[in-house]
Structure 1
Amino acid sequence: MPRVLYIDDDEGLRLLTSRRLSRRGFEVETAADADSGVARLREGGFDLVAIDHYMPGKTGLDALAMIGALPSPPPVVYVTGSEETSVAVAALKAGATDYVVKTVGEDFFDLLASSFRQSLERQALVAAKDEAEQALRASNDRLAAMVKEANHRVANSLQILSAFVNIQASAVGSDEAKSALRDTQQRIAAIAQVHRRLYNSDDIATIDMAEYLLPLAEELEATWSTPKSPRKVSFLSDSVRLKTDRAISLGIIVTELVGNACKYAYRPDEAGEVRIRLLQEAPNFRLSVEDDGPGVDLGAKPQGTGVGTRLIRAMAQSLGADLDYGHGPGARICVTAAL
């Protein structure tokens, strides 16, 4: 049976309440004043407490404040003979779960027992809700840790794969094969960069594109630069966050466009610059990659295998993006898509 502490200065009512509520399924202990009642509560073992309002010394509101200061206070039903609304409001504001007006007869004990049951049920629901929330948070934490570990492993695997491609590139004799393998290596690096970002981020659903594309631009600059033909890859970005799959698509587009600019915009014996800009133009974002070369002839036959161009179009389609090949002294390719 639920254990209830009933605090009331009326000895006769305490005894009567104990008897009547025991018939209604409750085990009742009593206390004569606020101090002795709170001292008994500190010993623990009670599921609920009922407090009378008018008591000598400290009132029921004083006792309610003392109970609220306990480490794990039980629910409190406030009992009084007063029908003043202000008393009920004050008790509920102070933390009481319910309010019962003291009357003469069995109806009072029926009402008191009903209030006890409702308070206990409410407390059980709150406890179940808290337990479910704690379990959900623990589950989410475990899932986040597993996802971060998965991203770490994927990034490492892609790094190993990139190393295999590099070994293969050094073993082939054909310049065309070497170029194709180097392009493949850069595509792998673009994807691996995303997984490295996810591993080091608390947000595993989206990617900060500035944090992602800046190291990617630095890697591309190091890859395509030689002492005779240095390639400067500059990067400027607004604060833009994209979902992981969209970030990968955009990273591959950047990799292909920068690679094309480094290979075809400048002669093998001259320096050159490629500029990457990512701007937020709500509700869209706009990526532009530009160089100072001869520009893009859309009607001409691809200088390479054409795989890069097909990849750019495929990634743009996955983003639902528009491709714009600008005209000017150099090439300027813009990709516009929804955030």
Structure 2
Amino acid sequence: MSEGEPDQSPPKKRVLVIEDDAGLRRLVTRDLERAGYEAAGAESCAEGLEKLASQRFDVVALDHFLGGETGLDILPAIRSLPEAPPVIYVTGTEDGRVAIAALKAGASDYVIKDVAGEFHALLRASVAHALEQVEMRRLKEAAERAVVEARDRAETLLREVNHRVGNSLQLVSAFMHLQSSTLPDGPARDMMRETEARILAIAQIHRRLYTSADVRAVDMDEYLSGLAEELESSLRTPDRPHRIAVKVEPVKMATDRAVSLGVIVTELVTNAFKYAYPSGAEGEVRVRLARDGALLALSVEDDGVGMSEAAKPVGTGLGQKIVGAMAASIQSRVERDASTRGTRIVLAFPA
């Protein structure tokens, strides 16, 4: 270090030695200072607590016998201090009950005084180990904070992505709605409206994830209710004045599975709007999602004209192909309940 430059070396670690034997206290503090520590002494519990309250220490070496008191009397008070330093319990007795009591009270280690001259070396090693443990805890906490902060940043970014994607899909859907409104009634207009409904199903997912506390899962009650509102608004016409009723049990679902389910509901509801009821007749389409043991059961039903098992797809059959593919992605298959008056489509899949 050049003359005039500030000392860049880290400050020495400080050790407080609470020991009522003045001679031993001096020997211990000097030995610690030779080892590179800054050491201070206290001869009683009261003095030790006073120094700990007014100064910063990195480690405390606490003797068991302190006049009319013991280190066990002061140990709880030390451990209750804000940012309490680790305590090494020093005892002259080999009674294991003392060491166990100290460790239970919060001491990080204990050292037994001996006459063979190993006490100082053992204490130095214990101090070094206690400081290493403190540093390891500090690094662990810093790493955990960094992970939490990184996760929070990622979730914030993901919410922003979901927000932008949802807005973009909503804009595309609005353009398609405007375009379809300029077309005369017929297959072309129906295809535009169906595509619009599919886009709405995915846009709803992204909007739900933007406002959700957990970006990994979707609340299906809110999602399907919101999807039903938008589908009804998009699909309802004077020729098809139908309404959608939704009943969903509180269920959270992973995003990819929720998307598949939303697309399935969109296709089945669209199909019911188009074919379940005669032109101009008002009808109801019911969407249900409920738990059935280890499974979830989805049903979409109406009270319309019904549909036979052997009936061929009306139109291109694209909707049925989409439903079949989405059902396979959630480990399910499409079944028709023939016991109902209208058409009831049921899917069961693992919860």
Query: Which bracket does the TM-score occupy, shorter chain normalised?
Result: over 0.9
Q: What are the within-5 Å matches in structure 2 for residues 31-50 of structure 1?
A: 31-50=42-61
Aligned to 2:158: 147
The aligned residue for residue 5 of structure 2 is: none
| C-alpha contact (below 8 Å) 1:239/1:280 kept by paired residues | no
Residue among 322, 334, 338 paired with 2:346:
334
Structure-2 residue corresponding to 1:99? 110
For 1:184, the equivalent position in structure 2 comes to 195
How far has the Cα of 1:227 moved from its partner? 5.3
Higher mean C-alpha displacement, 14-23 vs 315-324? 14-23
Between 179-188 and 41-50, report the one with greater CA deviation.
41-50
Tell me, yes or no, if structure 1 residue 172 matches structure 2 residue 183. Answer: yes
Alpha-carbon distance in structure 1 between the residues aligned to 2:252 and 2:29 = 64
Structure 1 residue 298: deviation in Å?
4.7
Q: Which residue of 1 aligns with 2:258?
A: 247
- Could you report, residue by residue, the CA deviation over 1:85-122 in whole angstroms, capped at 9, with x for unpaired residues? 33222211221101111222421111111111221111
CA distance in structure 2 between the aligned counterparts of 1:272 and 1:173, rounded to whole angstroms: 23
Give yes or no for contact 2:324–2:333 (8 Å, CA) kept in 1.
no
| Amino acid aligned to 1:3 | R
Letter in 2 for 1:288: S
User: CA offsets per residue over residues 173-195 of structure 1, 9 Å max, x none?
Assistant: 46221111111111111111111
Distance, in Å, in 1 between the alignment partners of 2:272 and 2:49 is 79
- Counterpart secondary structure, 2:314: coil
8 A Cα contact 2:14 2:38, kept in partner: yes
The correspondence of residues 225-304 of structure 1 with structure 2, limited to 5 A, is: 225-226=236-237, 229-304=240-315
1:112 counterpart = 2:120: no
Residue aligned with 1:295, SS: coil
1:229–1:268 contact (8 Å) kept in structure 2 = yes
TM-score (norm 2): 0.90
**Per-residue displacement from partner, 1:237-287 (whole Å, max 9, x unpaired)?**
223222101101111110110111111010111111111111212322111
- Provide the identity percentage: 47
Q: Which moved more, 1:86-95 or 1:6-15?
A: 86-95
SS of corresponding position for 1:255: helix
RMSD of Structure 2 on Structure 1 (CA)? 1.9
Q: Distance in 1 between matches of 2:282 and 2:183?
A: 27
- SS where residue 83 of structure 2 aligns? coil
> TM-score, normalising length from structure 1?
0.93
Structure 1 residue 222 corresponds to structure 2 residue 230: no
Deviations 1:27-70 (A, max 9, x none): 32211222222222233342211011111354312322222222
Question: Could you say which residue in structure 1 is the equivalent of 2:325?
Answer: 314
Q: C-alpha deviations, 1:306-327, integer Å up to 9, x for none?
A: 2211211121122221111222
Bigger shift: residues 121-130 or 297-306: 297-306
What CA distance in whole angstroms lies between the structure 2 residues aligned with 1:229 and 1:12? Answer: 100
CA distance in 1, matches of 2:127, 2:314: 83
Whichever residue aligns with residue 158 of structure 2, its letter is V
Structure 1 distance, partners of 2:188, 2:88, is 82
Aligned residues: 339
Partner of 1:85: 96
Any conservation in 1 of the 2:276–2:306 contact (CA below 8 Å)?
yes
Which residue type is aligned with residue 322 of structure 2? L
Q: Is the contact made by 1:53 and 1:80 (CA closer than 8 Å) also made in structure 2?
A: yes
Aligned mate of 2:78, from 67, 77, 87:
67
Query: Which range moves more in the overlay, 150-159 or 225-234?
Result: 225-234
Following TM superposition, by how much is the alpha carbon of 1:132 offset from its aligned partner in structure 2, in angstroms?
1.1
Work out the CA distance in 1 between the residues paired with 2:178 and 2:264: 25
Q: 1:204 aligns with which of 186, 192, 215?
A: 215
SS at match of 1:322: coil
After superposition, the Cα gap between the structure-2 partners of 1:215 and 1:226, relative to the gap in structure 1 and judged at 3 Å, is: same
Alpha-carbon shift at residue 82 of structure 1 (Å): 2.7
Asked whether the 8 Å contact 1:276–1:287 carries over to 2, the reply is: yes
**What is the CA-CA distance between 1:153 and the residue it aligns to?**
1.1
